[in-house]
């Protein structure tokens, strides 16, 4: 009898143990210690000015946003970030939310409780950031002491840039708390210089060097026509466990006449972007390679040109400031790849640019795109220009031919009212075109559609045909532009054939 009871007891114990293990394995995904994971913050209204393809990408991204921290009914999730904050080997979560009762973004810290198998809402951090598209947050070891510091940055309602950072610790009562180690605000730019650390740090043998923080702000003591800036360096103070000012210097700017200044910057984004519209080249850098930036106001794009490589970014947000403008832009091919440009006005034809990829990206002290840029003297024209020289005016070349043209795949194209119009079985597709003159050479500029017109600039040539041939062909050669004119790329050219009318 005792033997049977013992067997039954063992069986029951085994079943209960299996149920407990199954519940833990199948109904809960245990957090593990991994590297940081960040999703770019998005808001419900952030996609209203993007193209359909951008909307699709953002909708797919929204699906990946999951808050493990319980949210209230009036809280809208903007972004998530997972990392071990309290060094218990379990992954915690930080989420960015917006409340219906406040225009500002709030960060919520949630610690994972393994005994309860859930995330506990530990604390809230109120921010001054209301512009969602400028907001970014992450964690990184900025002090070099192997602590996951929480950082966030963005712009306030008054277009001031903000950077705050917090370190977490367990106090004497066993409660996890976060204390502020960085609290900076400026009407200029703020960035963290992520300097290279040693191999010994990477192997966890020693602590690393702390990252300095640079702040640029306007010199309020000078008059409004001067664009002098104050550059301040903040460094980590181990004694006080916070960042403090190390020194500040003046960065001289040019004095611009009030009349010229009003033409360039009247406090509106529209006016300053009109000033930027066109091609700019880096006036001086540490290499022999000249870099170019093409601001395309009509297409709301920025094109980065280097050698035979071009990257196209769509402008997602622009924030005007006293000395210039701040822009956020997303790569047209990879929507998650974003760049932030802090553009400072130097003179009527010169700007200074500092480019930050993101808080989550490595920012060196001197980005290859940083520096002063001068505006190209080439003139962009959007109107027809009558000329007898077909070679110097590609739009006139196209418009003098009444018959339509077609691609080699059979789809027809016409050129009317400064537009490409592609005709196919599904209907028609229109593209704005214009011409740009670079040192006397006129090139065709058009919107890239990713299929036919993969570049923004083309040289157009007639293809010589035998005298007895009834065909008429033209060739669009993709080119990149620079201060010397233009040069062809290695990409395939586009051939168009004139459609002969049939009776």
Residue given tokens 């299929």 in the structure block? 451
Pairwise CA distance, residues 141 & 153, whole Å = 16
pTM over 0.85: no
What is the three-class DSSP state of 395? helix
Pairwise CA distance, residues 290 & 202, whole Å = 35
Q: Which residues of 199-231 are buried (b: 16+ CB within 10 A; e: fewer)?
A: eebeeeeeebebbbbbbbbbbeeeeeebbbbbe
Question: How is residue 255 annotated by DSSP?
Answer: B
Q: What per-residue confidence (pLDDT) applies to 41?
A: 39
What backbone phi and psi angles, to 5 degrees, belong to 187? -85, 5
- Check: CB of residue 318 under 8 Å from CB of residue 309: no
Adjacent-strand bridge partners of 182:
165
What token pair was written down for 503?
A: 């009776």
Q: What per-residue confidence (pLDDT) applies to 54?
A: 37
What token pair was written down for 87?
A: 């060094």
- Check: CB of residue 79 under 8 Å from CB of residue 64: no
State the DSSP string of 384-401: ----S-STT-HHHHHHT-
User: Cα–Cα–Cα angle for 85, 91, 97, nearest 5°?
Assistant: 75
Pairwise CA distance, residues 214 & 184, whole Å = 10
When the candidates are 3.40.50, 2.60.40, 2.40.128, 3.30.1760, the CATH number that belongs to 381-498 is 2.40.128
Strands (E), 160-300: 161-170, 176-186, 190-192, 213-218, 229-237, 242-251, 278-282, 291-296
- Check: CB of residue 395 under 8 Å from CB of residue 459: no
Q: Which of 470, 468, 462, 456 is nearest to 500 (CA)?
A: 470
Residue 186, C-beta contacts closer than 8 angstroms, at least 6 positions apart: 160, 161, 215, 216, 217
- With residues binned 3-state (H G I as helix, E B as strand, rest as coil), the percentages for the chain, rounded to 5, are 15, 45, 45
Q: Which of 106, 107, 60, 59 is nearest to 83 (CA)?
A: 107
* pLDDT, averaged in runs of 10, over the chain (503 residues): 64 66 46 37 37 36 71 93 91 95 95 93 94 88 93 89 93 89 91 88 92 86 68 94 92 68 80 90 68 88 79 88 85 81 85 71 58 71 35 50 68 71 74 68 68 72 78 81 70 78 55
Q: What per-residue confidence (pLDDT) applies to 37?
A: 37
Residue 16, C-beta contacts closer than 8 angstroms, at least 6 positions apart: none
- Check: CB of residue 448 under 8 Å from CB of residue 431: no
Residue given tokens 């017109």 in the structure block? 453
Pairwise CA distance, residues 75 & 52, whole Å = 27
What token pair was written down for 205?
A: 């043998």
Pairwise CA distance, residues 63 & 201, whole Å = 37
Beta strands across the sheet bearing 176-186: 136-140, 149-155, 161-170, 176-186
Q: What per-residue confidence (pLDDT) applies to 359?
A: 53
Q: What per-residue confidence (pLDDT) applies to 258?
A: 65
For the four alpha carbons of 369, 374, 377 and 380, in that order, the dihedral sign comes to positive
381 alpha carbon, distance to own chain's centre: 29
């Amino acid at each position: 009898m005792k033997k049977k009871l013992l067997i039954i007891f063992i069986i029951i114990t085994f079943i209960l143990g299996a149920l407990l293990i199954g519940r833990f394995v199948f109904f809960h995904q245990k957090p593990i210690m991994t590297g940081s994971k960040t999703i770019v913050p998005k808001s419900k209204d952030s996609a209203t000015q993007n193209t359909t393809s951008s909307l699709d990408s953002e909708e797919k991204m929204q699906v990946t946003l999951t808050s493990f921290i319980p949210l209230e009914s009036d809280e809208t999730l903007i972004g998530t970030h997972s990392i071990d904050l309290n060094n218990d080997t379990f992954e915690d979560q930080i989420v960015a939310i917006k409340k219906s009762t406040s225009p500002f973004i709030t960060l919520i810290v949630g610690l994972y409780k393994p005994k309860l198998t859930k995330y506990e809402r530990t604390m809230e951090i109120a921010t001054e950031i209301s512009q969602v598209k400028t907001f970014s947050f992450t964690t990184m070891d900025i002090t070099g002491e192997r602590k996951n510091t929480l950082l966030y940055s963005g712009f306030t309602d008054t277009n001031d840039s903000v950077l705050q950072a917090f370190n977490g610790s367990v106090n004497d009562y066993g409660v996890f708390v976060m204390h502020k180690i960085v609290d900076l605000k400026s009407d200029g730019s703020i960035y963290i210089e992520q300097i290279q650390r040693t191999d010994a740090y990477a192997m966890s043998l020693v602590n690393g060097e702390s990252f300095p923080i640079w702040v640029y702000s306007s010199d309020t003591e000078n008059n409004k026509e001067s664009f002098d800036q104050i550059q301040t360096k903040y460094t980590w103070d181990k004694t006080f466990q916070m960042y403090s000012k190390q020194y500040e210097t003046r960065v001289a700017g040019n004095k611009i006449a009030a009349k010229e200044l009003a033409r360039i910057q009247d406090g509106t984004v529209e006016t300053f972007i009109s000033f930027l519209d066109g091609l700019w080249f880096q006036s001086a850098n540490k290499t022999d390679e000249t870099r170019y930036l093409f601001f395309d106001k009509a297409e709301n794009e920025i094109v980065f040109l280097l050698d035979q490589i071009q990257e196209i970014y769509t402008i997602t947000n622009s924030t005007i400031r006293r000395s210039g403008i701040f822009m956020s832009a997303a790569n047209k091919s990879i929507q998650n790849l974003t760049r932030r440009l802090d553009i400072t006005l130097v003179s009527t034809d010169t700007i200074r640019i500092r480019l930050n990829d993101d808080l989550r990206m490595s920012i060196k002290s001197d980005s290859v795109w940083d520096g002063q840029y001068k505006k190209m003297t080439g003139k962009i024209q959007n109107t027809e220009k009558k000329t007898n020289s077909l070679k110097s005016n590609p739009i006139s070349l196209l418009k003098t031919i009444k018959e339509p043209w077609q691609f080699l795949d059979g789809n027809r194209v016409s050129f009317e009212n400064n537009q490409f119009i592609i005709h196919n079985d599904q209907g028609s597709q229109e593209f704005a075109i214009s011409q740009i003159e670079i040192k006397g050479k006129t090139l065709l500029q058009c919107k890239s559609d990713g299929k036919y017109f993969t570049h923004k600039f083309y040289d157009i040539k007639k293809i010589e045909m035998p005298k007895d041939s009834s065909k008429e062909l033209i060739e669009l050669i993709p080119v990149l532009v620079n201060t010397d004119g233009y040069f062809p790329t290695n990409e395939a050219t586009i051939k168009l054939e004139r459609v002969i009318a049939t009776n």
